[in-house]
Structure 1
Amino acid sequence: MKRIFFCLFAVLCLSATVNAQSKYDDSPNNTAFFGEFGGPGILFSANLDKRFTQSRFGIGGRVGLGFVTSEFSNYNGSYYDYKTQSVVTIPVQLNYIFGKPNSSHGLEIGIGGTYIGKKVDVFSMLDNQEGTQFYGTFSFKYRRVPVNGGFTWNVGFSPLLAKGIIVPFAGVGFGYAF
């Protein structure tokens, strides 16, 4: 899973470098910055989404920075000590947005991974262990991207995969396309 995460991250970095060195200007709306509740960032994340083409639709990727809060317990001999812990998350995804050229409506389908700074029991069915944690992520979302840029939003289904368990999850994001 670590190899997949780092390969996706490398592809995103290389594509941004290739697009920055192109001889033509970017068309409106092939880049978006948005905050998302739920989704691949688990609790909250700030994301940069970039199309690898000169269009609002087609193949692209996203990378984000977020956080998740989890409660954990330690047995101190005679009682359980419950503590809350906040941990950084880094969601990375490759995605494809389907849509018609003159429409602001799109369907996003994506696959990727989320790195969590420490292994925390985000979902009660998973084991709490020390070390780092990776979740596989998927996205099936409706995305609204205005034709000439501006306010954008998305909403949809973003299941998470961890330790062979698929956890149904949802996400909603709001941001700006440019």
Structure 2
Amino acid sequence: MKKLLGLKFAIFLLIMSTQTFAQESTRERGRGVYVELFGNGLGYSFNYDQRFDKRFDGLGFKAGLSYFAIDGNSVATLPVGLNYLLGKNGKYFEMGAGATFLRAEDSTNAFAVGDSRSVGTGTVGHMIFGYRREPEEGGFLFRASMTPLFGQGTFFPFWFGISLGYAF
């Protein structure tokens, strides 16, 4: 009986130490989720952002998702990219680059029920130059960026985005 109790106690300590380590490693790495208006998702997008190293500045990545529909037409976007944060104490200059994958559909065909015609798919390149407020202890995340868009004969040098979210 004592051996069984000792084994249970050892397993309990192992689980607790693993959870403590997981919590500490979460606080060491900059991560965040946010909603971006305009910016790389073109209209709006829900995004996840994380640093590669266990720090709050440096190289990281972001990935997002957006979908909007108006009058039978819909557009889905998937912005992905690399970014680099320069700064400290939760205030950073952000720069980066990536691509936004697009898929547009037209469902206004009145002759076939449930038929949707794909208008097209494509990719738009984007850059990021902006300010990021991301507290090291976690909490409210704010971003304001100039995000030029380019691709296939198109260039929008003055495209902007603003983001609100949560850092953890």
TM superposition score category, shorter chain reference: 0.7 to 0.9
- Name the structure 2 match of 1:67: 67
SS at match of 1:40: helix
Distance 2:26 2:32 in 1: 12
Question: Which of 1 and 2 has higher RCO (CA within 8 Å, sep 6+)?
Answer: 1
Structure 2 residue runs of 5 or longer lacking an equivalent are 1-21, 107-117
Tell me the TM-score normalised to structure 1 length. Answer: 0.68
Q: Which amino acid counterpart does residue 48 of structure 1 have in structure 2?
A: Y
Count of residues paired in the alignment: 134
In the TM superposition, residue 29 of structure 1 has moved relative to its aligned partner by: 5.3
In the TM superposition, residue 68 of structure 1 has moved relative to its aligned partner by: 4.9
- Name the structure 2 match of 1:110: 96
The alignment status of 1:55 with 2:28, answered yes or no, reads no
In the TM superposition, residue 142 of structure 1 has moved relative to its aligned partner by: 0.2
- Name the structure 2 match of 1:175: 165
- Name the structure 1 match of 2:87: 99
CA RMSD in angstroms comes to 2.2
Distance 1:66 1:158 in 2: 16
Q: Which amino acid counterpart does residue 43 of structure 2 have in structure 1?
A: L
Do the aligned partners of 2:30 and 2:56 also contact (CA within 8 Å) in 1?
yes
- Name the structure 1 match of 2:5: none
- Name the structure 2 match of 1:146: 135
Mark the CA change 1:157 to 1:68 in structure 2 (over 3 Å): closer, same or farther. Answer: farther
Distance 2:95 2:159 in 1: 15
Distance 2:28 2:167 in 1: 8
Tell me the TM-score normalised to structure 2 length. Answer: 0.72
| Larger helix proportion of the pair | 2
Do the aligned partners of 2:69 and 2:75 also contact (CA within 8 Å) in 1?
yes
SS at match of 2:143: strand
- Name the structure 1 match of 2:145: 156
Distance 2:133 2:35 in 1: 14
Mark the CA change 1:34 to 1:46 in structure 2 (over 3 Å): closer, same or farther. Answer: same
Do the aligned partners of 1:28 and 1:149 also contact (CA within 8 Å) in 2?
no
Mark the CA change 1:31 to 1:110 in structure 2 (over 3 Å): closer, same or farther. Answer: same
Do the aligned partners of 2:133 and 2:142 also contact (CA within 8 Å) in 1?
yes
Do the aligned partners of 2:27 and 2:137 also contact (CA within 8 Å) in 1?
no
The alignment status of 1:90 with 2:78, answered yes or no, reads yes
Structure 1 residue runs of 5 or longer lacking an equivalent are 1-21, 71-82, 121-128
Distance 1:26 1:111 in 2: 25
Do the aligned partners of 1:43 and 1:69 also contact (CA within 8 Å) in 2?
no
In the TM superposition, residue 84 of structure 1 has moved relative to its aligned partner by: 6.0
- Name the structure 2 match of 1:73: none
Between the two proteins, what is the percent identity of the paired residues? 34
SS at match of 1:106: strand
